[in-house]
Amino acid sequence: MPLQKIISVVIPVYNEIGTLPVLTERVAQVIAQLPQFQWEVVYVNDNSSDGSEKLLPQLAEKYPWLSVIHFSRNFGHQIAITAGIDYAQGDAVVVMDGDLQDPPELIPEMVELWQEGFDVVYATRQQREGESLFKLLTASLFYRLFRKMSEVKIPLDTGDFRLMSRPVVNALSQMREKSRFIRGMVSWVGFSQTSLLYERDKRYEGETKYTLFKMMRFAMDGLLSFSKVPLQWITTLGFIISASSFIGILLVLYQTMVLHDTIRGWSSLMVVVLFLGGVQLICVGMVGEYVARIFDEVRQRPLYLIQRIDSRRMSNTASESLSEEIQLYDHSYSES
Ligand code: UDP
Ligand code: MG
């Protein structure tokens, strides 16, 4: 009998006590539908304080496939997902929200596409129910702005609800940057990705756990981690101001030297102010360019990721077995 594949489901949980029983029940039903796999569900409790922290261990007792990771403090949604992915052992890992906005019933379809050979199956929302107009507007604006500004193209209207294959999960766990924008990072990884349309439900219960402040931080993390455009704006602005100040300087000189109708000291002051303003912005932009490069370095992302190697010498799965092979190779080399 072939080895049973493992599927992990990672769910961040922050004060979702009203949803947890229903959520777990619905996940259990999905698991029962696909008994050919071995299942593992990982709840990451992001330091809840509404009783979820007490309910979760009880659920883990009841369901053998359930594990719970408890955080020491609130680290936020993206870090909770990261911890869950790090912990998960699956050949495929599904990430979904814990408020039932992402219906678990979509998982079998994701698994099917994964078995057809896709490495990432992300769920794109066709419709969003029960969100405030403000959220809809800002989210839509954000995704479109991100698309314009970032070198990495992320799919529009797609959250973190997705399935990832083991090679993608391994790649993701090599990326240890602190400000994490996981949907961008998954796009950056590459591999074969496909989408699945779904209708995003209302929150089952309770309020959004993303405060306006958290939302803004998240948007900043996304834009600044994946785009150098704001920095380039400074340099461009510097050049524009310098160029126009040059024209200004000519005008001031014309007034002083030809028309003789200015107050003493005004022209020299204007010349200096205009000139320095432009120069300063250009310099800040230059410094920014270096900061951007330092930023690229400190993130310590892998330079490249290998999806597959077709060769007689090496096994052709993921980069993981590749590095094993390289170590083996190095070993035999040093011995001879
Ligand atoms: N969440 C979390 N830590 C936080 C905020 C949210 O783990 O600090 C979880 C939350 O429990 C939910 C998911 O992240 O499972 C998405 O949060 P929410 O539904 O509040 O965000 P929205 O859908 O409104 O964007
Ligand atoms: Mg939600």
Helix (H) or strand (E) holding 25: helix 20-33
Ligand 1 center from residue 99 Cα (angstroms): 8
> Which residues are in the CB-under-5-Å shell of ion ligand 2?
99, 101
Half-sphere exposure of 28 (CA within 13 A, CB side): 13
- 104: helix, coil or strand? helix
Give the model's confidence band at 314: pLDDT under 50 very low, under 70 low, under 90 confident, else very high.
low
- Would you say the CB of residue 101 lies under 6 angstroms from ligand 1? yes
pLDDT at 109: 95
Q: Which atom of ligand 1 is nearest to the CA of 215?
A: 25
pLDDT at 332: 39
- Would you say the CB of residue 97 lies under 6 angstroms from ligand 1? yes
- Would you say the CB of residue 12 lies under 6 angstroms from ligand 1? yes
- Would you say the CB of residue 160 lies under 6 angstroms from ligand 1? no
The string of DSSP codes covering 132-147 is -HHHHHHHHHHHHHHH
Among 10-24, 116-130, 256-270, 289-303, the range of highest mean pLDDT:
10-24
How many C-beta atoms surround the C-beta of residue 261 within 10 A?
7
- 191: helix, coil or strand? coil
- Would you say the CB of residue 221 lies under 6 angstroms from ligand 1? no
Residue 333 reports pLDDT greater than 80: no
pLDDT at 335: 39
Extents of the domains making up the chain: 6-209+301-335, 229-298
Residue 116 reports pLDDT greater than 90: yes
* Contact (CB, 8 A) for 146 and 183: no
Closest CA to 235 of 291, 152, 273: 291
- 166: helix, coil or strand? helix
- Would you say the CB of residue 182 lies under 6 angstroms from ligand 1? no
Residue nearest atom 17 of ligand 1, based on CA coordinates: 209
User: What letter would DSSP give residue 154?
Assistant: P
What phi and psi, each to the nearest 5 degrees, are found at residue 45?
Answer: -85, 105
Q: Model's pTM, two decimal places? A: 0.80
pLDDT at 305: 62
- The proportion of the chain whose per-residue pLDDT surpasses 90, expressed as a percent, equals 44
pLDDT at 308: 66
* Contact (CB, 8 A) for 268 and 321: no
Q: Which atom of ligand 1 is nearest to the CA of 76?
A: 8
Nearest-angstrom CA–CA distance, 158 and 335: 51
Helix (H) or strand (E) holding 56: helix 52-62
Closest CA to 159 of 12, 59, 333: 12
pLDDT at 11: 97
- Would you say the CB of residue 210 lies under 6 angstroms from ligand 1? yes
- Would you say the CB of residue 125 lies under 6 angstroms from ligand 1? no
- Would you say the CB of residue 76 lies under 6 angstroms from ligand 1? yes
Ligand 1 center from residue 129 Cα (angstroms): 16
Nearest-angstrom CA–CA distance, 100 and 103: 6
pLDDT per position as a tens digit, 196-248: 998 888 888 888 888 888 888 888 888 888 888 888 888 888 888 888 888 88
247, 251, 252, 258: CA torsion to nearest 10: 150
Ligand 2 center from residue 95 Cα (angstroms): 13
Cα distances from 1 to residues 4, 36, 166, 287, 334, in angstroms, run 8, 12, 21, 61, 39
Nearest-angstrom CA–CA distance, 127 and 146: 20
The CATH architecture one would assign to domain 6-209+301-335 is: Alpha-Beta Complex (3.90)
* Contact (CB, 8 A) for 86 and 173: yes
